[in-house]
């Protein structure tokens, strides 16, 4: 999910969306806790100087307390090139779920590697620097539509990846991928991951102006749907909206690897893909600082400390709980972790292992969605596109690995990075 360049730098259309920004908020320095200077950090490499959100989110200050050490994050994407200078030593053994040629370190587009660097890149060699450079990446390669058009692939690659991550020692699953259609097997894998105590972040998608369809897995109740916002806390006009949005993170004006050759970075919008990676890294920072917390408690704190200018008992369909701000917890100790075994997403008891930290006296009760009229007013010039009905439903009930040739399956799945 990236932004537009010249024809020589073109990428998937869903990653090239750029342009004006719509907003639910116009908050100066909305990303920070209020004690940081407005000047961006000085980076030696030009690409790092373009990572504006690191200064806004007070990354350098947070890194004095935690860099995300001890946290492993599964990146379900196009693969992760473990040989870029910024990712050397940061990538662990993962899974190639595509069943195509290559393995999980063969990134066929550059998208997955960008996401991994935004999460845990060290910045060595002038590459992208991750918000949680102490975390480790576990790559899970899946197929987008272009890849599946050229290869015979495993139809259940995302479900298999989610289950593999759930059965591993990763704590966070980050998936900057989406499809317009739910799959039963994928939905069950998501529930399984929640039962194993994982936090699952997924991009809500970049097609707000193209029907604004719900995107899966972000639309599953157990998944944290992430929207994209800019420096001023305004939601991007391309960022899909609705009940699937749980939180927002920086996504605009973020560099990315131009293609699978890894020769240069391109300027543009990282979209909800980049926002998902940054949200995942934010969770890694908080969890690393509080290793005994459960997934529910980490999420409760991220939701509780998000920046918003609406009532705490409501959600915005554009920014969810608001703009993610891990610095509120890391630097100021803010945020109510709530009950260890109650999901802030579903408000149901979860079976994941509980941490040793005692639940707070008053558990965070999470807000209900805004009604459409109130949220439309908050969005200002934004209007809701009513053409968001699902076009179909895929049921994955067969208990065997299904490998299908490109064309027909691609027409149904239409999976894309965000």
Inside any domain, residue 33: no
358 vs 80, residue with greater confidence? 80
Would the pLDDT of 190 be above 70? Answer: yes
pLDDT of residue 56: 96
pLDDT of residue 414: 59
On the 0-12 / 13-18 / 19+ scale of CB atoms within 10 A, 340 is buried
Inside any domain, residue 127: yes
Torsion sign across C-alpha atoms 351, 357, 358, 364: negative
Inside any domain, residue 8: no
Q: pLDDT grade, residue 274 (50/70/90)?
A: very high
Inside any domain, residue 19: no
Q: pLDDT grade, residue 31 (50/70/90)?
A: low
Across 401-413, average pLDDT: 35
The strand pairing partners of 203, in sequence order, are 226
Q: What range defines the domain where residue 387 resides? A: 45-417
pLDDT of residue 314: 87
> What would the pLDDT profile of 130-167 be if each residue is shown by its tens digit?
999 999 999 999 999 999 999 999 999 999 999 999 99
Would the pLDDT of 363 be above 60? Answer: no
Supply the mean pLDDT for the chain: 80
pLDDT of residue 312: 84
pLDDT of residue 197: 97
Domain count of the chain?
1
Across 321-325, average pLDDT: 98
90 vs 353, residue with greater confidence? 90
Continuous segment of H or E residues that includes residue 278: helix 271-289
Contact 105, 82 (CB under 8 A): yes
Catalytic residues: 77, 111, 273
CATH number for position 172? 3.40.50.200
Inside any domain, residue 39: no
Of the ranges 77-81, 171-175, 202-206, 313-317, which one carries the lowest mean pLDDT score? 313-317
pLDDT of residue 399: 26
Across 59-78, average pLDDT: 98
Across 353-380, average pLDDT: 35
pLDDT of residue 351: 77
Inside any domain, residue 189: yes
Of the ranges 70-84, 150-164, 391-405, which one carries the lowest mean pLDDT score? 391-405
Give the whole-angstrom CA distance, residue 138 versus residue 121. 13
In degrees, to the nearest 5, what angle opens at C-alpha 180 toward C-alphas 202 and 366?
A: 45
Inside any domain, residue 124: yes
Of the ranges 295-299, 318-322, 357-361, which one carries the lowest mean pLDDT score? 357-361
pLDDT of residue 352: 60
Would the pLDDT of 408 be above 60? Answer: no
> What would the pLDDT profile of 279-290 be if each residue is shown by its tens digit?
999 999 999 999
Would the pLDDT of 407 be above 50? Answer: no
HEC string for 230-273: CCCCCEECCCCCCCCCCEEEECCCCCEECCCCCCCEECCCCHHH
Inside any domain, residue 225: yes
Give the whole-angstrom CA distance, residue 210 versus residue 203. 16
pLDDT of residue 203: 98
The strand pairing partners of 156, in sequence order, are none
The strand pairing partners of 417, in sequence order, are 177
Across 82-107, average pLDDT: 97
What backbone torsions phi and psi does residue 349 show, to the nearest 5 degrees?
A: -70, 135
Across 27-52, average pLDDT: 52
pLDDT of residue 30: 55
HEC string for 117-128: HHHHCECHHHCC
pLDDT of residue 355: 42
pLDDT of residue 418: 78
pLDDT of residue 353: 54
Of the ranges 93-97, 142-146, 406-410, 412-416, which one carries the lowest mean pLDDT score? 406-410
Across 362-377, average pLDDT: 34
Would the pLDDT of 404 be above 60? Answer: no
Would the pLDDT of 44 be above 80? Answer: no
What backbone torsions phi and psi does residue 178 show, to the nearest 5 degrees?
A: -165, 160
The model's pTM is: 0.80
């Amino acid at each position: 999910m990236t932004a537009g360049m010249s024809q020589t730098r073109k990428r998937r259309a869903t990653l090239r969306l750029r342009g004006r920004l719509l907003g639910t908020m116009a908050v100066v320095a909305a990303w920070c806790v209020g004690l940081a200077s407005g000047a961006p950090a000085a980076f030696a490499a030009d690409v790092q100087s373009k990572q504006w959100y690191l200064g806004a989110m007070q990354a350098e200050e947070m890194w004095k307390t935690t860099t995300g050490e001890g946290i492993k994050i599964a990146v379900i994407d196009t693969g992760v090139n473990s040989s870029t200078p910024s990712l050397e030593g940061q990538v662990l053994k993962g899974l190639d779920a595509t069943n195509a040629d290559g393995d999980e370190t063969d990134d066929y587009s550059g998208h997955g590697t960008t996401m991994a660097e935004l999460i845990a890149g060290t910045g060595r060699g002038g590459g992208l620097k991750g918000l949680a450079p102490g975390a480790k990446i576990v790559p899970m390669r899946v197929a987008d539509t272009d890849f599946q058009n050229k290869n015979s692939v495993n139809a259940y690659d995302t479900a298999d990846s989610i289950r593999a991550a759930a059965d591993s020692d990763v704590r966070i699953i980050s998936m900057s991928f989406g499809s317009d259609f739910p799959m039963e097997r994928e939905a069950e894998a998501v529930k399984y991951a929640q039962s194993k105590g994982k936090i699952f972040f997924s991009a809500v998608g970049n097609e707000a102006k193209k029907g604004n369809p719900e995107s899966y897995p972000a639309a599953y109740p157990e998944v944290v749907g992430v929207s994209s916002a800019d420096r001023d806390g305004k939601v991007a006009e391309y960022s899909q909206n609705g009940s699937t949005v749980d939180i927002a993170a920086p996504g605009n004006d973020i560099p990315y690897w131009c293609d699978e050759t890894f020769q240069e970075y391109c300027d543009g919008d990282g979209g909800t893909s980049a926002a998902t990676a940054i949200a995942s890294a934010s969770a890694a920072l908080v969890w690393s600082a509080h290793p005994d917390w459960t997934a529910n408690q980490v999420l409760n704190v991220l939701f509780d400390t998000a920046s918003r200018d609406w009532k705490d008992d409501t959600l915005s369909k554009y920014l969810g709980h608001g703009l993610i701000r891990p610095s509120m917890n890391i630097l100021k100790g803010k945020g109510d972790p709530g009950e260890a075994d109650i999901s802030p997403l579903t408000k149901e008891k979860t079976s994941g292992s509980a941490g040793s930290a005692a639940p707070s006296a008053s558990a965070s009760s999470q807000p209900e969605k805004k009604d459409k009229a109130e949220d439309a007013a908050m969005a200002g010039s934004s209007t809701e596109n009513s053409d968001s009905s699902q076009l179909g439903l895929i049921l994955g009930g067969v208990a065997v690995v299904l490998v299908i040739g490109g064309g027909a399956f691609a027409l149904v799945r239409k999976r894309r990075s965000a």
